[in-house]
């Protein structure tokens, strides 16, 4: 395999030769557009570790394959990464939603063979597209039901359950030749803030962390996960005041020392507020490398001058004695070794082929139908129903209120829920889309005699949704509330809980409505 030499001692400034190549060998930027920008192509030729693709970079399978081919032409050793969690967070299916159930549904089904098959299906779709590193599975234990950023991305609130499904998903993905990434170490599931927007703090004791947060990560490391992604959260009992991404006690002490992880440590995106909000991205890059991160995910919509600024900051830290040159060399070499692993054909091809049923799914990403991947009927069995909701849905004269609230930064603007599938199944609910600022005006159009089906996500943690539901209950004879996120503890705001809003989950819920003949 060709590529840039990253061995040897640091010499010279950031603008010259080997030093620049080594530093670039730790960076993983995003970029704007659906074709490879000139600056990315140039830096790939200089030794850039790779790129991270986002939904906005993808418009079709043909375009994506051409893009990944261009990346490899510029640097055959490039890592091509993506966030494809196979649920609410999807990049391959950013325009229509993922055809898989998502982690929370898989955890509720608790069939590790099905979870492994989903991992295989995701891996084959990514490999077909030319992607070799997937920032999945999410290994967080979602112990806080009001968590604003993890929720249905987690397999569940039970550490042992999350661990066995983390292992199965990882094994399936890597059997298809795509590197897995356990995230968000050492665990983002008990936070009440989104690290895209703030710096969350977790005050759990070390024993609690070891018996809860660390359990899925330990299992995934033992199963051979090639990479682990850090979280921008402060664990006050492990390293007070320092985000995990910048913490040597957490990365070198716990992840490498205690859990024995020898692969690539990836930073979560450094453009997030939890990482660079007060210090800027170049300083965040230096701090992440010094703490033990190997591959720095910079973010999205990056630019050539921005990358040059990061290279200069790392070089200045080396020259000033604040960052050992050997740390940069070590990181770049780990990244190159990962790329070499990903360039080899899957070693367990027979096992992968045995998991396939041979029929291609009818989707534009050419993902394969895999024996054991839950279909819509199996997914529907994982829903949580209150008796009142189940009885009420046998009624008629229903209208629905769709609550579109701001999506978190991880999910983006992916289509969600059953809305696309309702018409095809003959369920003709009269709908109202409710905007946060004007919902009282919107619901005035609904007849007071109508039964109302409210469909939202993460309802209980959104005060405006709670207020809307109470207003509807005061006006209408029957209100059933559907939560397609992670439900809170109050069933009034989740009479039906689907634990996900991917295209497959939406189809499953639409089928349920069709079977109950909920029509206007």
More confidently predicted of 289 and 361: 289
Task: Tell me which of 165, 184, 188, 196 is the catalytic residue.
Answer: 196
pLDDT one-digit tens code per residue, 460-494: 988 889 999 999 999 988 899 999 999 988 989 99
Residue 149: its pLDDT value, please?
Answer: 85
Q: Which residues contact 333 (CB under 8 A, 6 or more apart)?
A: 6, 7
pLDDT for res 447? 83
3-state secondary structure of 273: helix
Q: Reduce the DSSP state of residue 53 to 3 states and report it.
A: strand
Band of the pLDDT at 361, cuts 50, 70, 90?
A: very low
Domain 376-515 has CATH 3.30.200: no
pLDDT of residue 430: 74
pLDDT, position 4: 37
Separation CA 267–CA 183 (nearest Å): 10
Mean pLDDT of all residues in 422-431:
75
pLDDT in tens, 126-161: 999 999 999 999 999 999 888 888 999 999 999 999
Q: Examine the residue annotation and report whether 184 is marked as an active-site residue of this protein.
A: no
pLDDT of residue 147: 84
pLDDT, the chain, mean: 88
Question: What is the model's pLDDT at position 412?
Answer: 87
- Segments in 142-263 forming alpha helices (H): 159-175, 206-211, 214-222, 248
In which band, very low, low, confident or very high, does the pLDDT at 25 lie, cut at 50, 70 and 90? very high
Q: What angle do CA 374, 379, 381 make, to 5 degrees?
A: 125
Q: Tens digit of pLDDT for each residue in 79-88?
A: 999 999 999 9
Which range (101-115, 265-279, 314-328) has the least confidence? 265-279
Q: How do beta strands 430-434 and 384-385 pair?
A: unpaired
Assigned fold of 23-191+209-240+250-345: TIM Barrel (3.20.20)
> What's the confidence (pLDDT) of residue 257?
98
**Res 520 pLDDT > 50:** no
C-alpha 461, offset from chain centre: 20
Q: What is the pTM of this model?
A: 0.91
Q: Is 196 a catalytic residue?
A: yes
Q: Is the pLDDT of residue 437 over 60?
A: yes
- pLDDT band for position 395 (cuts 50, 70, 90): low
| Contact in structure between 87 and 104 (CB atoms under 8 Å) | yes
CA-CA distance, 280 to 431, in Å (whole number)? 44
Which pLDDT score, from 0 to 100, does residue 79 have? Answer: 98
Note the pLDDT of residue 350: 44
CA distances from 423 to 37, 390, 430, 506, 514 (A): 41, 21, 11, 12, 10
Alpha-carbon distance of 413 to 500, in angstroms, equals: 15
Distances (CA, A) of 348 to 2, 134, 173, 174, 342: 26, 18, 11, 9, 13
For residues 77-105, average pLDDT: 97
Residue-level pLDDT at 347: 60
DSSP 451-503: EEEEEESSGGG-HHHHHHHHHHHHH-S-EEEEE-S---S-GGG-SEE-S--SH
Which residue's entry shows tokens 């029929």? Answer: 359
Give the start-to-end residue ranges of the domains of the chain: 23-191+209-240+250-345, 376-515
Q: How confident is the model at residue 358 (pLDDT cuts 50, 70, 90)?
A: very low
72/68 Cα distance (integer angstroms): 6
The pLDDT of 75-79, averaged and rounded, is 97
- Among candidate residues 134, 239, 268, 271, the one labeled active-site is 268
User: In the structure, what pLDDT confidence band is assigned to residue 18 with cuts at 50, 70 and 90?
Assistant: low
User: Of the ranges 301-305, 324-328, 450-454, which one carries the lowest mean pLDDT score?
Assistant: 450-454
Q: Please indicate whether the domains covering 23-191+209-240+250-345 and 376-515 agree at the CATH topology level.
A: no
pLDDT band for position 10 (cuts 50, 70, 90): very low
Q: Let me know: does 292 contact 239? Beta carbons within 8 Å.
A: no
């Amino acid at each position: 395999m060709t590529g840039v030499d990253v061995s040897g001692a640091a010499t010279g400034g950031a603008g010259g030769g080997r030093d620049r190549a080594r530093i670039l060998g730790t960076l993983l930027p995003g970029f704007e557009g659906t074709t490879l920008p000139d600056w990315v192509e140039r830096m790939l030729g200089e030794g850039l570790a790779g790129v991270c693709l986002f939904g906005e970079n993808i418009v079709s399978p043909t375009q994506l394959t051409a893009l990944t081919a261009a990346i490899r032409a510029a640097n055959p050793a490039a890592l091509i990464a993506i966030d494809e969690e196979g649920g609410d967070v999807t990049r391959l299916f950013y325009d229509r939603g993922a055809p898989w159930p998502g982690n929370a549904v898989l955890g509720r089904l608790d069939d590790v063979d099905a979870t492994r098959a989903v991992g295989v299906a995701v891996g084959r779709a990514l490999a077909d597209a030319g992607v070799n590193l997937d920032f999945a599975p999410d290994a967080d234990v979602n112990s806080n039901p009001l968590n604003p950023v993890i929720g249905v991305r987690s397999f569940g609130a039970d550490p042992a359950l999350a661990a066995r499904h983390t292992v199965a998903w990882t094994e399936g993905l890597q059997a298809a030749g795509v590197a897995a990434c356990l995230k968000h170490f050492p665990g983002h599931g008990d936070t009440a803030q989104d690290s895209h927007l703030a710096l969350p703090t977790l005050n759990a004791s070390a024993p609690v962390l070891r018996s809860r947060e660390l359990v899925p990560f330990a299992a995934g490391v033992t199963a051979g996960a090639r990479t682990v992604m850090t979280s921008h959260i402060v664990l006050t009992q492990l390293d007070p005041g320092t985000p995990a991404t910048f913490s040597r006690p957490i990365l070198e002490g716990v992840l490498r020392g205690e859990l024995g992880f020898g692969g690539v440590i990836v930073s979560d995106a450094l453009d997030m507020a939890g990482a660079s909000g007060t210090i800027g991205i170049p300083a965040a890059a230096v701090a992440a490398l010094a703490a033990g991160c190997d591959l720095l995910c910079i973010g999205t919509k990056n630019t050539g001058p921005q990358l040059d600024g990061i290279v200069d900051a790392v070089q200045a830290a080396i020259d000033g004695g604040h960052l050992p040159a050997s740390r940069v060399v070590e990181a770049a070499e780990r990244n190159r070794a990962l790329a070499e692993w990903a360039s080899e054909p899957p070693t367990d091809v027979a096992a992968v082929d045995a998991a396939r049923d041979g029929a291609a799914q009818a989707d534009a990403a050419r993902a394969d139908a895999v024996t054991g991947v839950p279909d819509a009927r199996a997914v529907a069995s994982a829903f949580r129903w209150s008796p009142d909701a189940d009885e009420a849905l046998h009624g008629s004269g229903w209208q629905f209120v769709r609550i579109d609230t701001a999506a978190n930064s991880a999910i983006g603007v992916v289509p969600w829920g059953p809305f696309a599938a309702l018409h095809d199944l003959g369920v003709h609910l009269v709908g109202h889309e409710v905007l946060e600022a004007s919902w009282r005006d919107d619901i005035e159009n609904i007849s007071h005699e109508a039964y109302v089906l409210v469909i939202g996500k993460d309802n209980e943690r959104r005060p405006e949704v709670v207020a809307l539901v109470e207003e509807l209950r005061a006006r209408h004879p029957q209100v059933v509330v559907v939560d397609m996120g992670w439900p809170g503890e109050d069933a009034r705001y989740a009479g039906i809980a689907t634990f996900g809003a991917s295209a497959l989950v939406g189809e499953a819920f639409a089928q349920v409505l069709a079977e109950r003949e909920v029509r206007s």
